């Protein structure tokens, strides 16, 4: 153990919440280090005396750890021991240390300690004020791409892994009476109160243990160390069944209707890869009746020259490292403050046995409990003064201190230099109002605390503790209690017995509003004074932005990039606003406000995606015969969510050979298609028929029971959006079929119209797509085949074209529809889906003698194209009405009520000449197959841009006709039969085609009528 | 106007950048202008710029209720492309594309227009048919484009999952090499600076609360801050607020106002060199020069004016991105935000005269108007200057919804940006 300690040069002999009996080994930039369980990566690095943890992105300046929590801007690490488990941009202050952790810095070449780019930063930095890139890299124009490639190389922090993520993430939907965000004194007090009252409570905290500020305080509660009170409360809370405690969990977004998201780190705090069978992170989606924000406050650093040198830290962070982690991150401290509170850091430093060089207080006459304590310890206090500059190259070595005027904006005496390796600063505290901002509430400025507090909210939200600007433990505990009582009252629960623990009473003097420490030189010439570390935004930069006319704070932020880093300006935004306000001679609230958007801290994409990727990205739908298709070697096509058999190659067949075989077999004997995916909607009710008449363009009044009819469905604009056959099952009972991909859309379309336009109609819709297996047998032998499976009379006389009949097929009840999409004699057999495979197999059993051939969607497309039948979605595109399709027979303008799209399709532009119309296209070379999507022109020699007349929608090689067949749009095409269209292709070929009827085969429709 | 250049930066570094001029003035409005533009987004500012620069109309005010470029201009994911399907739209967006190609030099402001190409992925046979159709149309319209197969797509974007493992494997894509992204703020600021130098008054923090209409003719606007400001012609370019302004004009527009959200990851080292979009998987991504992955998808289904959307949309978006790019699973999302987009029934804009004389609207750009900014501004400026719609704007009259001459770009604009 002593050996470990001896290497950890900044580790204190005792104290802190680390477990010194559990040493951990980790790797940082390829070197091994030791830390202890309970450390964060940041505290372990500081314990080991690591000063430089990154390089700034614009100027490549060395950067050290500044803070101890979510507000840390500099210590952004790449974590991961293997390629697949790389995690970019992990904040070292929020990463628990674990054995075997591998971390590295993200920038710096050849390494972070000696970065050659820093010379570029030093020399070129002068030419890189904010927005410099808007002013240059423009000439010569052609060079921009080259400039940009260098800019890109310099950008980015960590890197994405190159291999797929081995971890899994999941989600939970949670409901609770009270969600408490933050488990500091306010949050714990609120949770205890609510839990005792019997409320369902969720309490989440981003840190690895509950306690918040109490984990690093030296204050006592009930006369004992505060951490003991925390332990008691945590223990009591864990005894309640209805209390969910979530440490290691960031509440990242606060959305409308009290919906919040929590990212819980389940195992990634302890390993870069989740142990087998465990999840890495869980996203809780919480709907809370009441939310209590007890998110505390972040301390604001002060802005002074070279304030980014390693060794410059936020005061409270220094205390945290000492008290919680047993690490004193330096030897000689200068503390600069505008308030009493930060004196604690000097006391902690002193009590840790280190040297406090001086407390530099901007106020004239500080007084209060902590001030007295410092005086008692004999610490030197320089009043009315500020640290104007830190000196050093890779770590602070000295500081310059100067006397300041009363308001702190001018130097009024001579500068003294003191040696110190650590500068801790405090400009007061900024309440953590991020979540409250997410709801759209505008923060309000509070002069007393020199900060923004949550604005008026429409959410069921309460706030307690430092978020309200209450900073003393007594007050914070009390606020936690009363917020919980408010919530309980709203929930109708009675207040339980609770007593506030007794806290030390501390007198604090008034703080001073101080943000930016003046320098002897004007800001523009002074050493860089950083406001936003991660984005290298300086006070001079903000002043320049204001001088250039960027007066809105949003403009200032955007021009300088302030607040756009991964810390989202938690440390810098208020300082930046103060500097801008001063430039613009306004107050801070006049200058604007600070708006935070989700996320509070970055969230792993995988956690947001959850399980809904890969296999589960979108459900795959299979028909009851799917396994058969697979066995038969089918290739599949995605149609909507369905996996449809596309074609069934045999042996070494090419796709075209398979299609030719399937097409010929169907037209010559009999083929079979699994058509189960067609959408099926069961429609019932006394007004069902009327409803159909309104949503289809054709007439439905006379469709008799037992009959089927094809219909077109149009949008309000009169344009076709779906089609299908609807059958009359009984007087008030219909079965509608839709395209496979359009089923859901059609169902919601029907519902929308029923619910919003015609609620008076009595009609009910039910999706029954999955209830039925549908197999279409098609071809001259289809009747013979069907006869082998049923006793029912399926002859022409008993079952005419467009009839449907109930019958028993292969021993199971079936609905058989005599409809045809191939133009052949055809029967669509529908059976309960559970019987599907059985009937399918029976069909093959009996069909062997007819060489029954399964065909897929591609053959179906070819066969219907030979007949000129359209496919909605392929031959329509939302811009064509039934007349454009040459389907005026499917429109009945006489219907008494009108129908959707009637008015639309009669508008001026819809009835004009020369609209694009669907026609057949016969290539002059019968062997040439037009590519689908080819664009036609009348004059192939016309210069670009060429006037186009329409595109090819469907095009195939037809084995039956021994030539190509195609359909497509041509302007005025229906009146241009026999004329020529030219298709100039990308490869330079021009295919010539003649406009013809789209019906290439059996124009009289005799084959389907036999 | 002070000329910007690398040399200028060097020169000013010697005076510690203390002598840069203001980018624009902060004027008090005059009583009357030739033209008032309502809305200081990219489109409004571009209109003012071209009015002054190309058409000699300099007595112009742009009236903006917030800060310049703070609406959708500041919120969009900056994809610029011109590979639209229909001639009318293709010509309009290509007009913009040509202006983009010289914009930094024209404005003397680096708008960082970065032609890193755009892939629109196809995942189904129908997707591929549509891609063929669109690319063929683009080619014959003189717009660059190619149809790529999955292998070629993989070569351009190695981190894209082009395997069969995907739920909807990539079958191919359309590829427009001249497409890309630009720096949105710079576009607004560049146009603003150019307009201001030519005499245009940019009036910020001033909301137009009513249109002053006399005898069916607009004669000015009413503001709370400066009272009535009169003008011969008024052009409204207020994106998500267009229906509100139309109401002031006493007519309705066929617009729906929806939230559209976007998000960025934390900055990471360069990994994605082009814009990748997928309608079917429903998401798109590019990587900014700062290293952020810039990500978006579709609108939220409901209507509203609150500039934020629902979390489920963010979840779906990220699911799509992780599905397409499994290696992004461990990358982390930094920020999300939303804007209000004004969508038209045919996914095309309205650049139009209105029932009120001398009142013109430029709106309805929905989820994809950033790419049109210079072109939209240019044709709108021409129309306002001459009192007659520019030929490229004519097909986008608001009256097309009466006569049915729609330009249906839903296909090309699916995950539309
Ligand atoms: C999340 C998101 C992502 C997007 N991604 C893309 C993309 O990748 N590619 C693309 O091409 N497009 C994209 N867009 C669309 C694009 O942002 C817009 O089409 C475009 O920016 C519109 O520009 P504009 O100037 O018309 O509107 P805006 O920039 O919104 O400007 C309108 C201005 O009018 C002002 N205004 C409104 N009412 C009044 C009033 N009464 N008085 C005075 N001023 C008023 C507003 O304050 C605002 O500044 C996206 C949009 C969003 C929201």
Q: What SS3 class is residue A661?
A: helix
Smallest CA–CA distance from A908 into chain B, residue: B403
Establish if B281 touches chain A: CB-CB under 8 angstroms. Answer: yes
- The pLDDT, as a whole number, for residue A6 is 53
Contact B34, B59 (CB under 8 A): yes
Using a 6 Å cutoff on CB, does residue B339 contact ligand 1?
yes
**Out of B20, B91, B326, closest to residue A165 by CB:** B326
Contact A563, A574 (CB under 8 A): no
Domain A522-601 has CATH 1.10.10.1100: yes
Cα B229 to ligand 1 centre (Å): 24
Report, in angstroms and rounded to the nearest whole number, the Rg of chain A calculated over CA atoms.
Answer: 38
Name the stretches of chain A with pLDDT < 50: 1-2
Is A156 in Cβ contact with B268 (below 8 Å)? yes
pLDDT band, residue B141 (cuts 50/70/90): very high
- The pLDDT, as a whole number, for residue A116 is 81
**Rounded to a whole number, what is the distance in angstroms from the first to the last CA of chain A?**
96
Is B165 in Cβ contact with A165 (below 8 Å)? no
How distant, in Å, are the alpha carbons of A105, A437, B235 from that of A176? 41, 22, 51
- The pLDDT, as a whole number, for residue A181 is 98
Q: Is the dihedral of CA B214, B216, B217, B220 positive or negative?
A: positive
Contact A248, A208 (CB under 8 A): yes
- Name the residue of B37, B38, B39, B70 to mutate for ligand 1: max ligand atoms within 8 A of Cβ: B39
Structure confidence by residue, pLDDT tens digits, A917-940: 999 999 999 999 999 999 999 999
- The pLDDT, as a whole number, for residue A1 is 44
Q: With left for phi above 0 and alpha for psi between -120 and 50, is residue A417 left, alpha or beta?
A: beta
ipTM: 0.96
- The pLDDT, as a whole number, for residue B113 is 97
Using a 6 Å cutoff on CB, does residue B238 contact ligand 1?
yes
Smallest CA–CA distance from A646 into chain B, residue: B125
Here the tokens at position A799 are 């079952």
Is B104 in Cβ contact with A141 (below 8 Å)? yes
Q: Which of residues 227-256 of B touch A (CB under 8 A)?
A: none
Write the DSSP string, A966-1001: EEEEEETGGG-TT-EEEEE-TTS-EEEEEEE-S--S
The H or E element containing residue A809 is: strand A804-809
Smallest CA–CA distance from B180 into chain A, residue: A145
Using a 6 Å cutoff on CB, does residue B78 contact ligand 1?
yes
**Out of A86, A524, A558, closest to residue B330 by CB:** A86
Structure confidence by residue, pLDDT tens digits, A606-645: 999 999 998 899 999 999 999 999 999 999 999 999 999 9
**What distance in Å separates the CA atoms of residue A33 and residue A48, rounded to the nearest whole number?**
7
Is A164 in Cβ contact with B9 (below 8 Å)? no
Using a 6 Å cutoff on CB, does residue B347 contact ligand 1?
no
Residues of A in contact with B291 (CB under 8 A): 152, 155-157
Of 2.30.130.30, 3.30.43.10, 3.30.70.100, 3.50.50.60, the CATH number of A168-297+431-491 is 3.50.50.60
Cβ contacts of A596 within 8 Å, gap of 6 or more: A433, A434, A437, A438, A568
Task: Name the superfamily (CATH) of residues A301-427.
Answer: FAD/NAD(P)-binding domain (3.50.50.60)
The whole-angstrom distance between A730's CA and the closest CA on chain B is 37
Structure confidence by residue, pLDDT tens digits, B49-83: 999 999 999 999 999 999 999 999 999 999 999 99
Looking at domain A914-1010, its CATH class is mainly beta
Ligand 1 atom closest to B206 (CA): 43
Here the tokens at position A144 are 């921009």
pLDDT band, residue B307 (cuts 50/70/90): confident
Is B400 in Cβ contact with A637 (below 8 Å)? no
Here the tokens at position A166 are 């081995």
State the architecture of A2-155 in CATH terms: Roll (3.10)
Looking at domain B25-78+185-255+346-413, its CATH class is alpha beta
| Structural domain spans, chain B | 25-78+185-255+346-413, 114-180+256-342
The whole-angstrom distance between B44's CA and the closest CA on chain A is 18
**Out of B108, B123, B318, closest to residue A608 by CB:** B318
Contact B60, B51 (CB under 8 A): yes
Using a 6 Å cutoff on CB, does residue B207 contact ligand 1?
yes
pLDDT band, residue B375 (cuts 50/70/90): very high
A377: how many CB neighbours lie within 10 A of its CB? 12
Burial (CB < 10 A; 0-12, 13-18, 19+), residue A622, is middle
Establish if B146 touches chain A: CB-CB under 8 angstroms. Answer: yes
Using a 6 Å cutoff on CB, does residue B72 contact ligand 1?
yes
| Structural domain spans, chain A | 2-155, 168-297+431-491, 301-427, 522-601, 681-772+793-835, 914-1010
**What distance in Å separates the CA atoms of residue A17 and residue A380, rounded to the nearest whole number?**
30
Using a 6 Å cutoff on CB, does residue B115 contact ligand 1?
no
Of 3.90.1200.10, 3.30.9.10, 1.10.10.10, 3.40.190.10, the CATH number of B114-180+256-342 is 3.30.9.10
Looking at domain A681-772+793-835, its CATH class is alpha beta
Q: What is the mean pLDDT of chain B?
A: 96
Residues of B in contact with A73 (CB under 8 A): none
HEC string of chain B? CCCCCHHHHHHHHHCCCCCCCCCCCCCCCCCEEEEEEECCCHHHHHHHHHHHHHHCCCCEEEECCCCCCCCHHHHCCCEECCCCCCHHHHHHHHHHHHHHCCHHHHHCCCCCCECCCEEEEECCHHHHHHHHHHHHHHHHCCCCCEEEEHHHHHHHCCCCCCCCCCCCCCCEEEEECCCEECCHHHHHHHHHHHHHHCCCEEECCCCEEEEEEECCEEEEEEECCCEEEEEEEEEECCHHHHHHHHHHHCCCCCCEEEEEEEEEECCECCCCCCEEEECCCCEEEEECCCCCEEEEEEECCCCCCCCCCCHHHHHHHHHHHHHHCHHHCCCEEEEEEEEEEEECCCCCCEEEECCCECEEEEECCCCCCHHHHHHHHHHHHHHHHHCCCCCCCHHHCCCHHHHCCCCCCCCCCCCCC
- The pLDDT, as a whole number, for residue A154 is 86
Using a 6 Å cutoff on CB, does residue B411 contact ligand 1?
no
Structure confidence by residue, pLDDT tens digits, B38-48: 999 999 999 99
Ligand 1 atom closest to B39 (CA): 34
- Decide whether A168-297+431-491 matches A301-427 in CATH topology: yes
Which of A59, A148, A156 best probes binding to B when mutated, by most B CB atoms within 10 angstroms?
Answer: A156
Here the tokens at position B133 are 């159709």
Residues of B in contact with A127 (CB under 8 A): 6, 9-10, 13
pLDDT band, residue B414 (cuts 50/70/90): very low
pLDDT band, residue B412 (cuts 50/70/90): low
Q: Which residue's CA is the nearest one to ligand 1's atom 48? A: B71
How distant, in Å, are the alpha carbons of A53, A61, B6, B14 from that of A118? 14, 6, 20, 20
Using a 6 Å cutoff on CB, does residue B172 contact ligand 1?
no
Residues of A in contact with B315 (CB under 8 A): 608-610, 612
């Amino acid at each position: 153990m002593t050996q470990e300690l001896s290497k950890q040069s900044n580790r204190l002999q005792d104290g802190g919440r680390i477990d010194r009996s559990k040493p951990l080994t980790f790797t940082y930039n390829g070197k091994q280090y030791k830390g202890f369980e309970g450390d964060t990566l940041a505290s372990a690095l500081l314990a080991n005396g690591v000063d430089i943890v990154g390089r700034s992105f614009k100027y490549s300046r060395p950067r050290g750890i500044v803070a101890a929590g979510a507000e840390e801007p500099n210590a952004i690490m790449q974590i991961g021991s293997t390629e697949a488990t790389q995690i970019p941009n992990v904040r070292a202050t929020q990463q628990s240390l674990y054995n075997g952790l591998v971390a590295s810095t993200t920038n710096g070449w050849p390494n972070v300690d000696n970065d050659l780019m820093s010379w570029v930063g030093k020399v070129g930095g002068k030419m890189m004020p904010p927005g410099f890139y808007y002013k240059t890299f423009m000439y010569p124009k052609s060079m921009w791409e080259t400039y940009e490639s260098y800019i890109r190389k310099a950008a980015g922090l960590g890197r994405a892994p190159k291999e797929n993520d081995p971890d899994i993430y999941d989600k939970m939907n949670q409901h609770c009476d009270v969600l408490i965000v933050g488990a500091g004194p306010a949050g714990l007090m609120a949770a205890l109160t609510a839990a005792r009252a019997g409320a369902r409570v969720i309490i989440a905290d981003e840190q690895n243990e509950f306690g918040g500020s109490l984990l690093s305080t030296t204050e006592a509660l009930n006369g004992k160390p505060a951490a003991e009170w925390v332990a008691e409360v945590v223990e009591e809370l864990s005894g309640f069944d209805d209390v969910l405690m979530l440490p290691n969990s960031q509440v990242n977004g606060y959305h409308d209707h009290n919906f919040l998201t929590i990212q819980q780190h389940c195992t990634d705090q302890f390993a870069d890869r989740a142990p087998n069978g465990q999840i890495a992170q869980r996203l809780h989606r919480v709907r809370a009746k009441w939310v209590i924000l007890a998110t505390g406050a972040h301390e604001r650093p002060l802005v002074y020259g070279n304030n980014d040198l390693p060794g410059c830290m936020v005061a409270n962070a220094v205390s945290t490292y000492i008290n919680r982690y047993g690490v004193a991150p330096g030897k000689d401290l200068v503390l600069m403050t505008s308030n009493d509170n930060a004196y604690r850091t000097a006391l902690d430093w002193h009590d840790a046995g280190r040297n406090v060089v001086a407390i530099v207080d901007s106020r004239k006459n500080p007084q209060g409990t902590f001030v007295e304590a410092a005086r008692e310890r004999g610490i030197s206090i320089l009043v009315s003064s500020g640290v104007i500059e830190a000196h050093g190259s890779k770590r602070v070595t000295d500081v310059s201190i100067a006397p300041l005027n009363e308001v702190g904006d001018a130097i009024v005496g001579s500068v003294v230099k003191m040696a110190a390796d650590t500068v801790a600063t405090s400009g007061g505290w900024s309440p953590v109002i991020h979540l409250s901002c997410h709801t759209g509430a505008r923060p309000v400025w509070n002069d007393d605390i020199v900060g923004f507090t949550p604005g008026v909210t429409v959410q069921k939200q309460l706030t307690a503790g430092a978020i309200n600007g209450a900073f003393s433990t007594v007050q914070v505990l009390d606020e936690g209690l009363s917020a919980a009582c408010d919530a309980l009252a709203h929930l109708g629960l009675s207040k339980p017995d609770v007593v506030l623990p007794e806290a030390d009473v501390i007198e604090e003097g008034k703080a001073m509003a101080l943000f930016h420490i003046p320098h002897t030189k004007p800001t523009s010439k002074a050493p860089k004074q950083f406001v936003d570390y991660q984005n290298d935004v300086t006070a001079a930069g903000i002043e320049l932005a204001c001088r250039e006319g960027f007066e809105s704070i949003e403009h200032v932020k955007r021009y300088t990039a302030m607040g756009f880093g991964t810390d989202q300006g938690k440390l810098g935004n208020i300082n930046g606003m103060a500097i801008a306000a001063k430039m613009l001679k306004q107050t801070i609230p006049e200058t604007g406000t600070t708006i935070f958007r989700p996320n509070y801290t970055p969230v792993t994409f995988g956690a947001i995606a959850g399980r809904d990727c890969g296999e589960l990205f979108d459900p795959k739908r299979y028909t009851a015969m799917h396994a058969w298709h697979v066995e038969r070697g089918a290739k599949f096509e995605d149609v909507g969510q369905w996996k449809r058999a596309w074609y069934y190659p045999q042996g070494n067949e090419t796709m075209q050979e398979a299609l030719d075989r399937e097409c010929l077999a169907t037209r010559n004997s009999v083929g079979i298609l699994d058509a189960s995916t067609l959408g099926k909607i069961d429609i019932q009710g006394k007004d069902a028929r009327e409803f159909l008449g309104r949503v289809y363009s054709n007439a439905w009044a006379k469709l008799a029971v037992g009959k089927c009819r094809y219909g077109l469905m149009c949008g309000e604009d009169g344009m076709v959006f779906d089609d299908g056959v609807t059958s009359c099952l009984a007087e008030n009972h219909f079965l509608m079929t839709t395209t496979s991909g359009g089923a859901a859309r059609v169902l919601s379309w029907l519902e929308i119209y029923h619910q919003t336009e015609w609620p008076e109609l009595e009609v009910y819709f039910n999706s029954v797509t999955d209830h039925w297996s549908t197999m279409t047998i098609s071809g001259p032998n289809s009747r013979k085949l069907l006869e082998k499976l049923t006793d029912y009379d399926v002859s022409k006389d008993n079952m005419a074209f467009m009839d449907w009949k109930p019958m028993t097929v292969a021993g199971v009840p079936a609905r058989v529809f005599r409809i045809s999409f191939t133009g052949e004699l055809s029967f669509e057999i529908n059976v309960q889906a559970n019987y599907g495979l059985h009937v399918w197999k029976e069909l093959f059993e009996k069909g062997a003698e007819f060489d029954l051939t399964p065909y897929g969607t591609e053959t179906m497309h070819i066969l219907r194209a030979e007949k000129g039948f359209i496919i909605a979605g392929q031959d329509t595109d939302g811009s064509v009405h039934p007349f454009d399709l040459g389907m005026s027979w499917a429109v009945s303008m006489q219907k008494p009520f009108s129908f959707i799209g009637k008015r639309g399709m009669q508008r001026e532009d819809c009835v004009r000449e020369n609209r694009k119309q669907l026609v057949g296209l016969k290539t002059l070379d019968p062997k040439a197959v037009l590519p689908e999507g080819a664009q036609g022109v009348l004059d192939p020699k016309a210069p670009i841009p060429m006037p186009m007349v329409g595109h090819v929608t469907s095009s195939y090689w037809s084995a039956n006709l021994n030539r190509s067949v195609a359909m497509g749009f041509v302007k005025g095409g229906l009146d241009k039969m026999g004329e020529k269209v030219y298709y100039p292709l990308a490869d330079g070929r021009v295919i010539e085609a003649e406009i013809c009827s789209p019906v290439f085969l059996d124009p009289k429709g005799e084959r389907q009528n036999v | 106007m002070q000329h910007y250049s690398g040399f200028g930066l060097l020169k000013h570094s010697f005076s510690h950048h203390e002598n840069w001029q203001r980018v624009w003035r902060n004027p008090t409005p005059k009583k009357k202008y030739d033209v008032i533009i309502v809305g200081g987004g990219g489109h409004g500012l571009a209109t003012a710029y071209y009015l002054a620069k190309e058409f000699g109309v300099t007595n112009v005010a742009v009236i903006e209720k917030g800060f310049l470029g703070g609406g959708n201009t500041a919120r969009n994911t900056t994809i610029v492309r011109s590979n639209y399907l229909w001639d009318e739209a293709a010509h309009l967006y290509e007009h913009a594309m040509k202006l983009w190609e010289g914009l930094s030099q024209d404005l003397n402001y680096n708008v960082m227009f970065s032609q890193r190409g755009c892939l629109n992925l196809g995942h189904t046979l129908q997707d591929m048919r549509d891609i063929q159709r669109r690319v063929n149309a683009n080619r014959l319209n003189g717009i660059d484009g190619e149809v790529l197969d999955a292998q070629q797509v993989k070569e351009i974007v190695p981190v894209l999952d082009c395997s069969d493992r995907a739920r909807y494997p990539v079958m191919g894509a359309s590829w427009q090499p001249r497409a890309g992204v630009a720096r949105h703020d710079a576009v607004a600021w560049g146009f603003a600076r150019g307009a201001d130098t030519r005499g245009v008054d940019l009036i910020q923090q001033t909301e137009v609360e009513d249109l002053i209409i006399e005898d069916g003719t607009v004669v000015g606007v009413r503001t709370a801050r400066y009272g009535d400001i009169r003008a011969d012609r008024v052009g409204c370019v207020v994106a998500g607020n267009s229906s509100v302004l139309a109401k002031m004009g006493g007519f309705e527009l066929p617009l729906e106002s929806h939230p559209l959200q976007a998000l960025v990851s934390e900055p990471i080292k360069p990994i994605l060199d082009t814009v990748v979009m997928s309608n079917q998987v429903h998401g798109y991504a590019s990587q900014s020069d700062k290293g952020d992955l810039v990500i978006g998808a579709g609108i939220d289904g409901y209507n509203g004016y609150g500039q934020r959307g629902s979390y489920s949309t963010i979840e779906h978006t990220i699911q799509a991105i992780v599905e397409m790019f499994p290696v992004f699973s461990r990358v982390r999302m930094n920020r999300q935000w939303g804007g209000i987009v004004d969508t038209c029934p045919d996914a095309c804009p309205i650049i139009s005269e209105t029932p009120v004389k001398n009142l013109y609207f430029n709106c309805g750009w929905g989820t994809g108007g950033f790419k049109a900014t210079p072109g939209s501004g240019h044709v709108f400026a021409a129309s306002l200057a001459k009192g007659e719609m520019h030929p490229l704007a004519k097909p986008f009259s608001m009256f097309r919804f009466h006569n049915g001459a729609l330009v249906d770009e839903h296909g090309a604009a699916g995950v539309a940006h």
